Amino acid sequence: MNRVRLLAFNPVLHVLDYRVPEGMAVEPGSMVIAPLGPRQILGIVWEAERLPADEVPEQKLRALLEVLPVPPLSAPLRRLIEWTADYYCAALPSVARMALSSTAALRGGGTMTEYRLSGTEPARLTPQRLAALDALHGEQATIRDLAALASVSEGVLRGMVSAGMLEPITVDLDRPYPLPNPRHAAPKLSADQAAAATRFVAAVESGGFAPFLLDGVTGSGKTECYFEAIAAAIDAGQQVLVLLPEIALTENFLRRFEARFGVPPVLWHSSLKSTERRRAWRAIASGQARVVVGARSALFLPYARLGLVVVDEAHEVSFKQDDGVRYNARDVAVIRARFEAVPVILASATPALESLQLAEAGVYEKIDLPDRFGGAKMPTIEVVDLRVEQPERGRWLAPRLVAEMKARLERGEQSLLFLNRRGYAPLTLCRHCGYRFQCPNCTAWLVEHRLSRRMACHHCGHETPTPEVCPECHTPDCLVACGPGVERIADEVAELLPEARVALATSDTLNSPEKIGAFVASAEEGLIDVIIGTQLVTKGYHFPELTLVGVVDADLGLEGGDLRAGERTYQQVAQVAGRAGRGSKPGEVLIQTRHPEAAVIVALAAGDRDAFYAAEAEARRDAGAPPFGRWAAIIVSSEDEAEARDAARAIGGTRPQLDDVAILGPASAPMSLLRGRYRYRLLINARRSAQLQDVIRAWLGALEFPQGVRVNVDIDPYSFV
Ligand code: ADP
Ligand code: ZN
């Protein structure tokens, strides 16, 4: 073969043919450098018959320049990339890019220079150097990464290198990761756990695609069970991928993994330092990295010998990516396992309805762990009707919840208050003129953060200092906070239980692995009496002295009223309830609500998951909603309101007329302005039999839009804003 077709990372012309020069060896999946005009581009050699043809005649073909010294992307990974692009109506190069790291990593191993503080400090320091000294304590990274860490320019750091304050360290990019030892500290499993583990181990040993739904109550030891499957894969010389819904959970996972296997796993997430990223990518591609744990971006990496995929907390909506390629990592993980012909374990105490449905249909093998490990009992759950048991004026915690917290404090036990709202208050207004603080870029209120004295938009990141006077009428001291956020609950607890040691656990306070580690350690050592947290603390943690969970506002999740509101509320409350009573002492959960009669609250109080899911499933079947029917959204946006509206109308006006597809809209999106872009939505509801993606591609492919208009397709959407 001396003509090859490349998948190139070029937004306009993404399929190109080249000539392979004499003496160069390429195969499908090879990563190559090719000329394009005066530039050089990166491309992946692809099977020519699987891409649209490139018409360039033979004699006009230009020659490839270089094959990069990395293993070719495997056929299963190439099929996964194609499947993902096809299913989610995404561009092939955008999906393929997720398999790559920096171009530097593709260029080869070798060494890189990192820098760290040398301990030498001149007598006089500029403020910038002083700041860098402070920020870089204990850090070692490239100049660029250090500059970002310390928020100073690279020039400042280079000056510090010349002055001898930073010293160079040569790091070998291909130094191997330590190997996990499957027999380091194997636990004694309970009978149920052993049965589950045996099933997983057999699947790993025999190989082949085998999807499992590990459905075990909180505290049943799901992690211990899939650790046995990981041990089997390590024994077989294979690699394992463990996906977690958010990086906040990895710290805890790392410690448990290290306790079990003697060394930490290899981490992959978006904020890795560039040297670590290169090292991890290369070790994944060579097969040297044996167990990789990461957020969803770890899913498309080029594992050399993948033997098992685990998705923990598989019900979590954060597996759904809502920008760039809009894919669901839980679903794509199963597809990856299918193409690689390996087992995949979806673990959860509150599986998604979609997953349960697939288990019921016999597609997934369901493995149950109905009891907590070590005889711990499930917590008792009671409902606090806020209309009857009213908190004091201006407060949010009902007297019964406060009394239970007091009792815990006296017994030296811990309480956890859950409220999924960062900051002090979700809305701030002026008592004098009624002015409300709104984000200039989004259809959203600004949230007051008292700890950082800022008003912040949680959608676009816009921030302003909290003003002293109303920006509209200039009256001083007239701003009122409406509703509670976690910071406000913390104030209330400080007033009610002044001697309690309180910790706020949100993405604002636990924003680095160090801070998360410190929080977990102090909770475990009993240095915290009351944890007040957002969804960040609903899962993964195991604090034996935690015996009371208070759900401050169970109605919050039901307000938006989207398809999964009931299910999501059930999952969130059941998960946070699952933090209580995991040790030898029994746990108690109090759910504050104004709608004690709502189906989800009744089900939570009765601990009747099956009945709740059955009712949910029935409602979805009637509505033709997933998993019984299919949904897709089209989101049209532009910085120009009229342009967005016109484009949305043009799409609506050419809607296909089909029996098995209903198209709603276009309508102005609930979040009609987001990050400065005006938004319209169409919702498509299709029968399972419909060729949904083909319909959408044909429909949108026939239209042209002005430059400033973005048209995004969201298959199996989770967000309806
Ligand atoms: P889940 O993920 O199902 O909520 P975990 O895996 O976190 O449960 O287990 C709950 C706690 O019980 C953890 O502290 C775990 O280490 C412990 N545990 C579970 N199974 C065993 C076992 N077989 N031997 C020792 N400890 C166990
Ligand atoms: Zn905003």
Q: Which ligand is nearest to the CA of 538?
A: 1
Query: How many structural domains compose the chain?
Result: 5
Domain span holding position 303: 191-374
Same domain, 60 and 118: no
What residues flank ligand 1, with Cβ below 6 Å? Answer: 187-190, 193, 216, 218-224, 373, 542
Same domain, 413 and 560: yes
Atom from ligand 1 closest to the CA of residue 369: 3
Rounded CA-CA distance 148/125 in Å is 20
Cα–chain center distance at 619: 28
Mean of the per-residue pLDDT values of the chain: 93
Please indicate whether residue 415 or residue 539 has the higher confidence score (pLDDT).
Answer: 415
pLDDT at 109: 74
Rounded CA-CA distance 1/60 in Å is 16
CB atoms within 10 A of CB 476: 10
Rounded CA-CA distance 45/76 in Å is 14
Closest C-alpha residue for ligand 1 atom 20? 221
What is the best residue among 220, 223, 378 to mutate for testing ligand 1's pocket, by most ligand atoms within 8 Å of CB? 223
Rounded CA-CA distance 181/204 in Å is 17
pLDDT tens digit string along 83-104?
999 999 999 999 999 999 777 7
Of all residues in the chain, the percent with pLDDT exceeding 90 is 78
Rounded CA-CA distance 15/93 in Å is 9
Per-residue pLDDT for 134 more than 90?
no
Element containing residue 711 per DSSP (H, E)? strand 710-715
CA of 581 to the centre of ligand 1 (A): 13
Beta strands in 386-494 (DSSP E): 414-418, 427-430, 447-449, 454-456, 463-465, 479-482
Closest C-alpha residue for ligand 1 atom 27? 221
CATH number at residue 672: 3.30.70.600
Same domain, 20 and 125: no
pLDDT tens digit string along 466-484?
999 999 999 999 999 999 9
DSSP string for 226-284: HHHHHHHHHHTT-EEEEE-S-GGGHHHHHHHHHHHHSS--EEE-TT--HHHHHHHHHHH
What is the best residue among 252, 257, 542 to mutate for testing ligand 1's pocket, by most ligand atoms within 8 Å of CB? 542
Last residue of a domain, one of 70, 85, 100: 85
CATH number at residue 76: 3.40.1440.60
Average pLDDT over every residue of 328-338: 98
CA of 438 to the centre of ligand 2 (A): 8
Same domain, 710 and 653: yes
CA of 330 to the centre of ligand 1 (A): 23
Element containing residue 294 per DSSP (H, E)? strand 291-294
Same domain, 146 and 278: no
Per-residue pLDDT for 458 more than 90?
yes
What is the best residue among 193, 198, 224 to mutate for testing ligand 1's pocket, by most ligand atoms within 8 Å of CB? 224
**What SS3 class is residue 674?**
strand
Q: Are 353 and 617 contacting, i.e. CB atoms less than 8 angstroms apart?
A: yes
Atom from ligand 1 closest to the CA of residue 216: 3
pLDDT at 189: 97
Rounded CA-CA distance 264/288 in Å is 14
Q: How far is CA 521 from CA 344, 412, 516, 589, in A?
A: 32, 17, 9, 23
**What SS3 class is residue 475?**
coil
pTM of the predicted structure, to 2 decimals: 0.92
Per-residue pLDDT for 141 more than 90?
no
Assigned domain for 695 exists? yes
- Token pair, residue 327, equals 């894919």
CA of 392 to the centre of ligand 1 (A): 40
Atom from ligand 1 closest to the CA of residue 218: 4
Rounded CA-CA distance 545/567 in Å is 29
Rounded CA-CA distance 404/500 in Å is 13
Last residue of a domain, one of 569, 588, 617: 617
Atom from ligand 1 closest to the CA of residue 223: 6
CB atoms within 10 A of CB 459: 16
Average pLDDT over every residue of 433-453: 94
pLDDT tens digit string along 475-518?
999 999 999 999 999 999 999 999 999 999 999 999 887 888 89
Assigned domain for 454 exists? no
Rounded CA-CA distance 627/606 in Å is 26
Per-residue pLDDT for 531 more than 60?
yes
CB within 8 A of 361, min separation 6: which ones? none
Same domain, 538 and 572: yes
CA of 187 to the centre of ligand 1 (A): 10
Per-residue pLDDT for 148 more than 80?
yes
pLDDT at 111: 82
Q: Given pLDDT bands bounded at 50, 70 and 90, which one contains residue 11?
A: low
Residue count (the chain)? 721
Last residue of a domain, one of 314, 348, 374: 374
Q: Given pLDDT bands bounded at 50, 70 and 90, which one contains residue 540?
A: confident
Q: Which ligand is nearest to the CA of 674?
A: 2
**What SS3 class is residue 51?**
coil
Per-residue pLDDT for 2 more than 70?
yes
* Closest by Cα among 218, 262, 224 to 542: 218
CA of 98 to the centre of ligand 1 (A): 34
Q: Which ligand is nearest to the CA of 217?
A: 1
Closest C-alpha residue for ligand 1 atom 6? 221
Same domain, 27 and 63: yes
pLDDT tens digit string along 18-69?
999 999 999 999 999 999 989 999 999 999 999 888 888 888 899 999 999 9
Q: Are 715 and 697 contacting, i.e. CB atoms less than 8 angstroms apart?
A: no
Rounded CA-CA distance 354/488 in Å is 37
Rounded CA-CA distance 397/363 in Å is 45
Of all residues in the chain, the percent with pLDDT exceeding 70 is 99
Average pLDDT over every residue of 347-354: 96
Same domain, 671 and 583: no
Q: Given pLDDT bands bounded at 50, 70 and 90, which one contains residue 563?
A: confident
Closest C-alpha residue for ligand 1 atom 5? 221
Atom from ligand 1 closest to the CA of residue 544: 14
Same domain, 58 and 154: no
CA of 254 to the centre of ligand 1 (A): 15
